[in-house]
A and B are shown apart, each in its own frame.
Chain A
């Protein structure tokens, strides 16, 4: 115990100092220092891999002990590789061998807030247009003080913060060695986890110095390495989670095991309203069933085995309250169509020239409607969580992207002090935005509290996961455009209507989202094109379908609308879509222009295709990254085959090229899946799809070869988890038009063409 006490005191000392130092670097928002949460976490039993004995928390991002260096990477890794990238930033400045580094998510803490305002505020580039928009929109600070993984913001958020954490710790270790040896700090260097004095050949490991370093205050601002000296940043790093994910050892929420644990599942109202009554008499008599726990919108069945809980859940009879939204998908689209005429816009996102006057006088106006369906997240790990309410403390193991807010809401709902709620973020079997929600975290809190002292694992059936999702909202766009005589669109007018995901989500998770919702226009309002008369309005429908963040959110439908419409204009003007886009980006959008030029070369755009093949092009700016793609399709006897995708992305600064490639490939396959086959429909207020047989996803046989090119056009680190998604959908639809002459303005495309 005395060791723990020592750790706590020392850890706090340097933890506070490092954080206070952070104030000087301008990455810290409030005036009082934030606490270092690590000593408490260590005292409560460690941080994943870090053992407690002889552990020193140097800054809130680093624990040093005899086994090596545990870097706290306080973002949820849902597969996007962020924990490896963030750890590399710390390891780079700390100067340690990659093999000695372990990563841990760490405890939820305001210390790990995301400075998303600087990165995810309206448009991401530095054009005059973008800067004006930032001021007008005023949505900065939406996520103020929140620890959040989302908006493809983690690398942007961590780029300076994590390097400073490594540099501050290194500086303290050097200072400790300088004091030990009575030498000036400037005469010392570091190498692979040691401080060295070259002149005398003296050397001390970081482990040997950690306890002294923990007593020091860092008084000067650490100096970050120049790019020319980077060893890890900018390189493809072996992922820290790779081995455990290939051996079955990775522990996802669904794999957490505690002694004497029970297994639960839930059934909630498929119309997403209250439960009126239920009859669980059959379930209670079934083998292994231990308890039925009523929830606000359904019940939990607790048994001694998950399968028994599933079986028992099927035997319960319910009376449900009706949905608060229209009964069918058709009616929902009719509502949105009507509201596009009657509602005031949520915001005008682009207002260049005088589109309405020009349109009123123009002939040959292309006027079309596009629509996009609801989509499920369908992460492969169904929703799962483990809860244990013991001796007044509530422990929850689960995957969540807003852990501080989860803790807060659980404490409120369970009537506990926040200090009595302990949230452990596990490995995550995919999310795509689903785990920004708190529904299941609140469920496990209720279930665990109903069964004091007994650990309970909650596992949703796939059917529950599919039907209790917060869907990517459906959307509708009315587009009007005119081609100019110079072969460029002279006018584009776009009215978009969809649900405000930000407000819908904000209401559920207790975070006020003031002002217009920029998500409604993402991927179109910021389209990197010069159009002389460009008018774009977004409308927020009154529909109240449970809807939430989904990989690329607004850009996932707007990219489709905008880029397919550009393709239509190009064809109407008998213009090559690549030539047209190059002309539209040349003067004001150099990064977009460079991306297109490179893609023209890598995709061999100017080479003629055989008659049974065709290609389509699209480009989207989202989450700061410019991504353009060419999709090649082929007519085969079995149907249309997506044979190849070429992708070029300007990511600003490429932190980990191998991971960026993986994320772009991932986004492309995710986008193609949605475009080809993704659709959630409602009938009688219920979602009709239930599992992967009726909500399918691309498999190996349908997956194209993908070639990725990365550009670094400057402007800092940009997002990469999401930007691969939007162009894939539009480029595929445009390729299908080129192949078949069929212009499809509503996806999924498989409703209109047959895929091989």
Chain B
């Protein structure tokens, strides 16, 4: 099987019903997406397929069509994605385990909705955070939205 992840083509041999998450983590060594629940409840495994957020722990790799982007490929070392920059500025993460999923979800939200309201954030940012970083995530999404609008203006 073949898959393009973070703009690199990978070839591997697995069962088509193996979830994408385990192909990424154990076959390709891409460990940014995390395993949290295995039933699409927590969102720690969130990656993008052609820009759309998906919970990779329940997505059979055989059904994946399109470019996969993980947190590992979201920004470059010297030029992080604006959402990552704001996350760092706002000191959002605590244990940090959910944050790759939170960031990927936020990036997808902002690409579709450049000025999300609190209600929009509530509806889209459904990822679990056991450390309770929600107040800072909310503030960071608003700030990132503003920065992205400034860059695009």
Contact = CB atoms under 8 A, between A and B. Distances in A.
Contact of A670 (B71, B96, B130): B130
Contacts of B92: 242, 246
Given A242-B93, A248-B72, A699-B126, A305 B14 contact: yes
A697 B130 contact: yes
B115 to A, nearest CB: 17
Contact of B91 (A238, A249, A698, A705): A238
Interface in A175-194: none
Given A306-B26, A665-B135, A693-B41, A257 B31 contact: yes
A658 B91 CA distance: 9
Q: Name the residue among A239, A381, A428, A461 with the largest chain B CB count within 10 angstroms.
A: A381
B94 A666 contact: yes
Interface in A651-670: 658, 662, 665-670
Contact of A254 (B34, B75, B126): B34
Given A247-B75, A662-B91, A306 B25 contact: yes
A398 to B, nearest CB: 14
Contacts of A79: 93-96, 131
Nearest to A399: B95
A544 interface: no
B5 interface: no
A255 B95 contact: no
Given A246-B84, A307-B26, A380-B42, A701 B122 contact: yes
B25 to A, nearest CB: 7
Interface string A698-727: 111101011000000000000000000000
A666 B31 contact: no
Nearest to A304: B26
A246 B99 contact: yes
A459 B35 contact: yes
A246 B87 CA distance: 7
Nearest to A668: B132
A81 B92 CA distance: 11
A9 interface: no
Q: Name the residue among A238, A263, A430 with the largest chain B CB count within 10 angstroms.
A: A430
A378 B131 CA distance: 11
B10 interface: no
B145 interface: no
A462 B37 contact: yes
Contacts of B98: 380
Contact of A248 (B38, B100, B130, B134): B100
Contacts of B130: 378-380, 430, 432, 670, 697
B137 interface: yes
B136 interface: yes
A242 B137 CA distance: 14
Contacts of A699: 126-128, 134
B42 A692 contact: yes
Q: Is the interface of B mostly helix, strand, loop or mixed?
A: loop
Contacts of B3: none
A700 B80 CA distance: 25
Interface residues of A, number: 63
B131 A666 contact: yes
A85 B138 CA distance: 25
A252 interface: yes
Interface in B95-137: 95-100, 103, 121-123, 125-137
A305 B18 contact: yes
B35 A705 contact: no
A287 interface: yes
Contact of A381 (B75, B95, B127): B95
Interface in A64-87: 78-81
A462 B38 contact: yes
B87 to A, nearest CB: 5
Interface in A612-630: none
Interface in A677-708: 691-693, 697-701, 703, 705-706
Nearest to B39: A691
Q: Name the residue among B32, B100, B130 with the largest chain A CB count within 10 angstroms.
A: B130
Interface string A377-399: 01111100000000000000000
A241 interface: yes
A621 B30 CA distance: 44
B95 A382 contact: no
A513 to B, nearest CB: 28
A79 B138 CA distance: 19
A307 B19 contact: yes
B51 interface: no
B125 A700 contact: yes
A231 interface: no
Contacts of B127: 699-700
Given A247-B71, A662-B136, A380 B32 contact: no
A540 B19 CA distance: 46
Given A238-B91, A427-B96, A693-B41, A380 B36 contact: yes
A243 interface: yes
Interface in B33-71: 33-39, 41-42, 44, 70-71
Nearest to B41: A692
Interface in A301-345: 305-308, 310
Contacts of B36: 380-382, 462, 692
A636 to B, nearest CB: 13
A742 interface: no
Contacts of A287: 15
Nearest to B85: A246
A255 B31 contact: yes
Given A287-B15, A692-B128, A306 B95 contact: no
Contact of A382 (B29, B35, B75, B134): B35
A461 to B, nearest CB: 6
B80 A247 contact: yes
A244 B97 CA distance: 11
A250 interface: yes
B47 to A, nearest CB: 11
Contacts of A80: 94
A665 B138 CA distance: 13
A429 B122 CA distance: 23
Interface string A230-244: 000000101101111
Nearest to B87: A246
B34 A381 contact: yes
Interface string B132-148: 11111110000000000
Contact of A666 (B29, B100, B132): B132
B26 to A, nearest CB: 5
Contact of B93 (A246, A305, A378, A669): A246
B95 A428 contact: yes
Interface in A533-591: none
A246 B81 CA distance: 10
Nearest to A663: B94
Contacts of A706: 135
A241 B92 CA distance: 11
A252 B135 contact: no
A367 interface: no
A29 interface: no
Contacts of B41: 691-693
Nearest to A81: B94
25 contacts: A79-B95, A242-B87, A242-B88, A246-B84, A246-B99, A247-B32, A247-B80, A248-B31, A252-B34, A252-B97, A305-B22, A310-B38, A379-B130, A380-B44, A380-B95, A428-B95, A431-B95, A462-B36, A658-B91, A666-B94, A669-B132, A697-B128, A697-B130, A700-B121, A703-B135
Given A248-B31, A692-B37, 13 more contacts: A79-B95, A242-B87, A242-B88, A246-B99, A247-B74, A306-B25, A379-B95, A379-B97, A380-B36, A429-B95, A459-B35, A662-B91, A670-B131
Q: Which 8 residue pairs are nearest across A and B when measured between Cβ atoms?
A: A248-B32, A669-B132, A245-B96, A79-B95, A429-B97, A79-B94, A248-B71, A701-B122
